[in-house]
Structure formats: structure tokens, C-alpha cells
Structure 1
Amino acid sequence: MGSSKSVRPPWWLKPANKLFIQMSRLGLSFGGESPVVLTVPGRKSGRERSTPVTPMTVDGQEYVVAGFPGADWVANVRAAGEATLARGRSVRRVRMVELSAEDARPLLRVFPEEVPTGVGFMKRAGLVDEGRPEEFEALAGRCAVFRLDGIQ
């Protein structure tokens, strides 16, 4: 199974993210999913850092799953606790609450159904082999899962 390998972001991730951010700012979707641009201050520089994410809604609550372990945006969110999410011209602030591995398991299990484009990404990154729900569930504790709570 792919989870035993050390995982590095693929070479194409940064250029692809730039394209996805531009598409999202224009309000375009791809693969039937509508990603948002998550912006959070850098934990060292304090400069705003943006990355595309695809939230999923489970039981009326919104969540974001990190595409690979050690993502910079995850460390920045852990430091800041809050972020801005933008889809087209719609912008909102959220508190991002990281779930324990135990609480993340059922959400990771439904991830392939809720965010099908994420399956291909995680396969190419070497995190899962076939994209079965139990492979995603096994990523609990390796790939961060955040609950998004609105800020008034």
C-alpha cells in the first residue's frame, strides 16, 4: 500500500494550484466540484498564502482534508487557527478546528465519494493505491482533517 512511502508534493502541484486559484477566483469549477481558495497568514513571514481546497459537507458540517502530509498550508492553519475561504467574489472567515485521528476516520472514509477529484490526486501522490474508502480511512493521523466553523 502507498502509505508506507514518504510522500512529497508532486512537481506539478504549485503550477496546478496557481491555475486552480485563478479558476476559482473567476467562479469556475472543474470536475463538477467547486474548489475554494483558502488564504492564511504564513507562520514565519506573516504574508498571506493561498491554496485551493475542496471542502466537503457531511451531516451539515463543512470539512477540508489535506491532500498530503506535511503540507505548508496545514502548518500555517495550525499556527493561525483561522483562514479566509473565497469562491469567486464570495469571501468568508472560518475557524479551522483540526480533528483527532479518531474523529477524522469516518470523514476520510467518505472523502472518495464526497471529493472524487481528490482520489486521483492522492493516488498520484502515492497516498492510496486503489482509492478504496478503507485506504483513505487509514490516512487518519497522517493527513489533517479540519472542521470549518463560521466566524461572525
Structure 2
Amino acid sequence: MSSTGALPGWLKPANRVVKALHRLGLPTGTIHILTVPGRVSGEPRSTPVSPLTVDGRRYVIAGLKDSAWAKNARAAGRGRLSRGRTHEDIALIEVGDPATRKAVMTAFPAQVPHGVQFFLRIGVVDSAEPAAFGAAADKVAVFEIRPVAAPSR
């Protein structure tokens, strides 16, 4: 799937459980559900993500930059972020600036500590240290989350 690594076998079943908990209104930790239209089918595709905030802006990280959800987010440029039964329509803008990607990755271990093992297991980083995450910024896709203005009447 990526030169960085492959997704672990436990991920799909774990994602199903997390999505089911959210549908029941029981969010877990920092996890939200990101739903974007499929780039081929247009059908909604959902995946658990953990948004983080750096310098007042919100971001999500795709550990494998060519994962299906990252490709769908790039193609659509929009989506819906849900936490339990709360939903927000959003724009997704891929971050091209290396310094911003590095800052977001460096912040990840402190803001999303339960996500560190995922990055270690897929081989994106070799240590849980923030500096190791910052150094891996070119191996991942980072998307800025921006609110979508409500339509005017």
C-alpha cells in the first residue's frame, strides 16, 4: 500500500468497533469519525481519525499518505467530522508546507498518545519521541480541517 508500511490486520475490525460505538453516541478518547465521498463511487467512506490542534488550527494525519481515505480526502476536499452524535461539515486541505507538517507531527504524541503505537507498528516512526514524529513529516499526509460555512438563506 505504501513504501512506509502496511496496515496491521487488526485495524479493520478495530475501526468497525470504534464506528459502532460512535453510532451509539459513545465516542472514545480523541477519536472522531471522518466521512468523505469515495473518489470513484461517490459513496460515503468513513474512518476513525484523531484531530489535533496546532497554533489554533485543526489537523488530521493519514499515517499512510496513499491510503484510501487520504486519496478520497484529496479528491473531495471536503467531508464530515463526527464525534458521537455531533457532526460538522468540513473542508479538508492537504498541507504542503513542510514546516507545518513537521509541527503537526511533532505535536501528535502529546495530543494523541493512544495513536503513537499505530505509527510505530506501521513503521512511520521508530520512537515515540516528538522529534521522531517531526522527522517523519514527509512520510504522511496532513490535512487541515476548516469549518464549512452554513449556506445563507
TM-score, scaled to structure 2: 0.88
Q: Which structure 2 residues correspond to residues 120-131 of structure 1 after superposition, within 5 A?
A: 120-131=117-128
Q: Distance in 2 between matches of 1:34 and 1:114?
A: 9
Given the alignment of the two structures, is residue 12 of structure 1 paired with residue 10 of structure 2, yes or no? Answer: yes
Q: Distance in 2 between matches of 1:27 and 1:67?
A: 26
Given the alignment of the two structures, is residue 68 of structure 1 paired with residue 64 of structure 2, yes or no? Answer: yes
Given the alignment of the two structures, is residue 106 of structure 1 paired with residue 103 of structure 2, yes or no? Answer: yes
Instruction: Kindly state the Cα deviation for residue 67 of structure 1 after the two structures are TM-superposed.
Output: 2.4
Given the alignment of the two structures, is residue 133 of structure 1 paired with residue 127 of structure 2, yes or no? Answer: no
Instruction: Kindly state the Cα deviation for residue 102 of structure 1 after the two structures are TM-superposed.
Output: 3.0
Q: Distance in 1 between matches of 2:66 and 2:58?
A: 22
Given the alignment of the two structures, is residue 84 of structure 1 paired with residue 42 of structure 2, yes or no? Answer: no
Q: Distance in 2 between matches of 1:36 and 1:118?
A: 13
Instruction: Kindly state the Cα deviation for residue 125 of structure 1 after the two structures are TM-superposed.
Output: 1.5
**Residues 6, 105 of structure 1: CA spacing in aligned structure 2 closer, same or farther, 3 A cutoff?**
closer
Instruction: Kindly state the Cα deviation for residue 74 of structure 1 after the two structures are TM-superposed.
Output: 0.3
Percent sequence identity over matched residues? Answer: 42
Instruction: Kindly state the Cα deviation for residue 60 of structure 1 after the two structures are TM-superposed.
Output: 2.3
Instruction: Kindly state the Cα deviation for residue 119 of structure 1 after the two structures are TM-superposed.
Output: 0.4
Contact kept in structure 1, 2:4 and 2:122, CA below 8 Å: no
Pairing partner for 1:46 from 38, 42, 48: 42
Contact kept in structure 2, 1:35 and 1:55, CA below 8 Å: yes
- Post-superposition Cα deviations, 1:89-128, rounded to whole Å, max 9, x if no partner, equal 1111100111123321111111110110110111122222
Contact kept in structure 2, 1:97 and 1:147, CA below 8 Å: yes
Q: Distance in 1 between matches of 2:21 and 2:95?
A: 29
Contact kept in structure 1, 2:54 and 2:103, CA below 8 Å: no
Pairing partner for 1:58 from 42, 54, 60: 54
Q: Distance in 1 between matches of 2:58 and 2:123?
A: 26
Report SS of the residue matched to 2:138.
Answer: coil
Aligned residues: 146
Q: Distance in 2 between matches of 1:61 and 1:82?
A: 16
Report SS of the residue matched to 1:17.
Answer: helix
